[in-house]
Amino acid sequence: MNFYKDLYYKLFAVVADAVESLERDEPLAARKALVAAMREAEARVVSAEGE
């Protein structure tokens, strides 16, 4: 359970940062942060499934 809780907090923080980027009219920075977080989360979930 802590694994998913940690992922949630990480993703939530990135989403909050992305919203701030959008508010500063920096959509590319927001997109880059969101895509990177998505890839990291996916990699962590896939690697955890093998354990």
Domain borders along the chain are 2-49
The predicted structure's pLDDT at residue 51: 73
- Integer CA distances (angstroms), 22 to 11, 12, 26, 36, 45, in order: 16, 15, 5, 16, 28
pLDDT tens-digit map of 1-51 = 688 999 999 999 999 999 999 999 999 999 999 999 999 999 999 998 877
The predicted structure's pLDDT at residue 19: 98
The predicted structure's pLDDT at residue 37: 97
pTM (predicted TM-score): 0.84
The predicted structure's pLDDT at residue 49: 84
The contacts of residue 14 (CB under 8 Å, 6+ apart) are 33, 34, 36, 37
